[in-house]
Amino acid sequence: MTHSSSTQSTFVPPVPEAKRWIAGITFPPERPLINVSQAAPIDPPPAPLRRAMAEALEKPETHLYGPVLGLPALREALAANWSAHYGAPVAPERVAITAGCNQAFAATLSAICGNGDEVLLPVPWYFNHKMWLDMQGVTTVPLPTDEQLLPDADTARALITERTQAIVLVSPNNPGGVEYPAETLNALFDLAVEKGLKLIVDETYKDFDSRSGAPHDLLNRKGADETLVQLYSFSKAYRLTGHRVGAIIADPALLQEIEKFQDTVAICAPQLGQHAALWGLENLSHWLAGERDEILNRRAAIADNMPKLEEKGWVLKGLGAYFAYLEHPFAMSSDELGPKLVPEAGVLVLPGTMFTPAGDATGARHLRIAYANVNRSGIEELFDRLAALDWPLAGSDGAA
């Protein structure tokens, strides 16, 4: 009798898979590997934050279980931060702290969906979102996006069934980098309210949005309490990826259900990470503004160097936060191109096939560039290497 577990229902995690491509390969000092595969800060937290974390380690409570939905002081601080940023009152009771934003997503979907339910996920999607839905027995309904990688409410409407429970959005987007316009979010919010669905907006990269002020006013919309769920990560803002601190901003009734998940899976988010996130919220706003400026500079470097690739047939489809999403000109699929770029160009990048349904032709044509750990000169070198590739082009010599 054959048996299939919930984890066997999904695919191999893309980032570890890509890391295996570089195993055993030596990169010469004059041409080191350019790693643009993962969107995680590689630098440690700033020194003042590290000192605050060292002090937190001396507190006995740091080493104990904490409240399941997070430290009250952190919930209060994030509620105040959220209220100020979005111009809408957010009570601490609407905030839950999780072990990273991936767990925020998993907890939220577990509280919303059951086996056999459906969730709309725009394509290209964040692969861990798809993986969790697979493992939970929830059907992912691919929501096509347009040439600007934006989802459309009318397209989404046609995909909704009686089993649909939620529409999931990521803005600024992973993998596309696109900053969703307020009108796009409002149209999908209206649809969610009309159909009685949750609109889940993952705003992991909100601190690096190129727009000043609030990117939307969904919290001020009628029905937001019952409809809107926002997800957040402290990892990118304060370089706390290894300390696993994320958040959910949602209706307290939903958080009561999420509390069941949290208590069973993690009991509480890591205490040290929570203390670090609190200190960051209270003390690092000026530092974080500088981090945003640097990311925006690297974003500008992508745009500045893009003409080198455009003349070779590449197309920039999306750009923002930590990501650029590129359409490549070559005859091969991106899942062949990705491993080939490692030894031949010294570049590690994720293929679009990791962000799309199996057999989706758009995945074969695209690559995701995660540029947050590559400075302006590194970006210039990356584009020089890609522009130098002299491989068969799509449509030439009968190639696909």
What whole-number distance in Å separates Cα of residue 200 and Cα of residue 207? 18
Q: Among the three residues 237, 264, 283, which one is the final residue of a domain in this structure?
A: 283
Comparing 4-8, 46-50, 263-267, 355-359, which segment has the lowest mean pLDDT?
Answer: 4-8
Taking alpha carbons only, the member of 247, 226, 325, 306 closest to residue 81 is 247
Which tokens go with 378?
């590194």
In this model, does residue 11 exceed pLDDT 90?
no
18 and 62 share a domain?
A: no
Range of the domain at 19: 8-37+287-390
Task: Quote the pLDDT of residue 396.
Answer: 55
75 and 212 share a domain?
A: yes
210 and 264 share a domain?
A: yes
CA 212 to mean position of chain CA atoms: 20
Task: Quote the pLDDT of residue 400.
Answer: 44
Burial of 339 (0-12, 13-18, 19+ CB in 10 A): middle
Supply the mean pLDDT for the chain: 95
More confident residue, 359 or 380: 380
Q: Among the three residues 258, 283, 308, which one is the final residue of a domain in this structure?
A: 283
Which residues contact residue 284 at a Cβ distance below 8 angstroms, ignoring those fewer than 6 apart? Answer: 46, 48, 49, 237, 238
Q: Where are the alpha helices (DSSP H) in the chain?
A: 14-19, 47-56, 72-86, 101-112, 127-136, 153-159, 182-195, 224-227, 235-238, 252-265, 271-283, 285-310, 334-345, 361-364, 376-387
101-110 burial, b for 16+ CB within 10 Å, e for fewer?
bbbbbbbbbb
In this model, does residue 146 exceed pLDDT 80?
yes
pLDDT tens across 290-315, in order?
999 999 999 999 999 999 999 999 99
46-56 burial, b for 16+ CB within 10 Å, e for fewer?
beebeebbeeb
- What CATH number corresponds to the domain at position 332? 3.90.1150.10
157 and 175 share a domain?
A: yes
Q: What is the mean pLDDT of residues 129-138?
A: 96
pLDDT tens across 29-49, in order?
999 999 999 888 888 999 999
Tally the domains of the chain: 2
Which residues contact residue 368 at a Cβ distance below 8 angstroms, ignoring those fewer than 6 apart? Answer: 124, 175, 323, 324, 325, 326, 349, 350, 351, 352, 354, 355
What whole-number distance in Å separates Cα of residue 249 and Cα of residue 231? 6
Comparing 11-15, 123-127, 186-190, which segment has the lowest mean pLDDT?
Answer: 11-15
55 and 137 share a domain?
A: yes
Burial of 193 (0-12, 13-18, 19+ CB in 10 A): middle
102 and 213 share a domain?
A: yes
In a domain, residue 399? The reply is no
In this model, does residue 398 exceed pLDDT 50?
no
Scan for tokens 């000192």, then name that residue. Answer: 51
Query: CB of 371 within 8 A of CB of 300?
Result: no
In a domain, residue 124? The reply is yes
Residues in the chain: 400
Percent share of the chain, pLDDT over 70: 98
Helix (H, G, I), strand (E, B) or coil at 119: strand
In this model, does residue 148 exceed pLDDT 60?
yes
In this model, does residue 75 exceed pLDDT 90?
yes
Which tokens go with 314?
């590449």
Q: Among the three residues 267, 283, 299, which one is the final residue of a domain in this structure?
A: 283
Percent share of the chain, pLDDT over 90: 92
Which tokens go with 172?
């600024």
Taking alpha carbons only, the member of 212, 182, 211 closest to residue 201 is 182
238 and 374 share a domain?
A: no
Before 60, cis peptide (omega within 30)? no
Please tell me what DSSP assigns to residue 59.
S
In a domain, residue 397? The reply is no
181 and 311 share a domain?
A: no
In this model, does residue 234 exceed pLDDT 80?
yes
Query: CB of 217 within 8 A of CB of 87?
Result: yes
Amino acid occupying residue 82: W
- What CATH number corresponds to the domain at position 61? 3.40.640.10
77 and 199 share a domain?
A: yes
Between the alpha carbon of residue 166 and those of residues 123, 129, 141, 195, 201, the distances in Å are 15, 13, 10, 10, 10
Task: Quote the pLDDT of residue 2.
Answer: 67
In a domain, residue 178? The reply is yes
